[in-house]
Amino acid sequence: MTPSAKRVPHADRVAALQSRIDEALPSLVEGRTPAALYDAVEHVLRTDGKRIRPILLLLVAESYGTSVERALPAALAVEVFHNFTLVHDDLMDEDEERRGAPTVHVKWNPG
């Protein structure tokens, strides 16, 4: 077996947690106002990130006997905060794209 063909331990569990996070993120912005703010938040959260930070939080929570559902709000908060730091970084560096999409300050031009 070549190194690239080796099975990554717990890959299925990590993929399941990533899917659960991706499913839950939209609920943070659905129906929220003001729309101008939450449209930008939704734009940031729907990018294809790896979700490493919230996945690690959920794995640690599980290792201590806490259910994924109970720890999920904290994991989502970690992901939102991380994405805020990326928005801030894009603004400070005047980047125009992140993950192939326009950055928030380019798309919404907050002035």
Q: Is residue 18 part of a domain?
A: yes
Residue 36 has pLDDT above 90, yes or no: no
- 72 in Cβ contact with 18 (< 8 Å): no
pLDDT at residue number 78: 98
Q: Is residue 3 part of a domain?
A: no
Residues across the chain = 111
In the chain, the number of structural domains is 1
* Percent share of the chain, pLDDT over 90: 59
pLDDT at residue number 110: 57
Residue 17 has pLDDT above 90, yes or no: yes
Q: Is residue 36 part of a domain?
A: yes
* Mean per-residue pLDDT, 76-94: 93
CATH number at residue 104: 1.10.600.10
Query: Could you list the residue range(s) of the whole structural domain that residue 98 is in?
Result: 11-108
Strand, helix or coil for residue 97: strand
Question: Which run of H or E residues covers position 45?
Answer: helix 35-45
pLDDT at residue number 61: 98
Higher pLDDT, 41 or 111: 41
Distance of CA 66 to the CA centre of its chain: 21
**2 phi and psi angles, rounded to 5 deg:** -75, 155
98 Cβ neighbours under 8 A, 6+ residues apart: 47, 86, 90
Encode pLDDT of 67-81 as tens digits.
999 999 999 999 999
Q: Is residue 2 part of a domain?
A: no
Per-residue pLDDT band at 46 (split at 50, 70, 90): confident
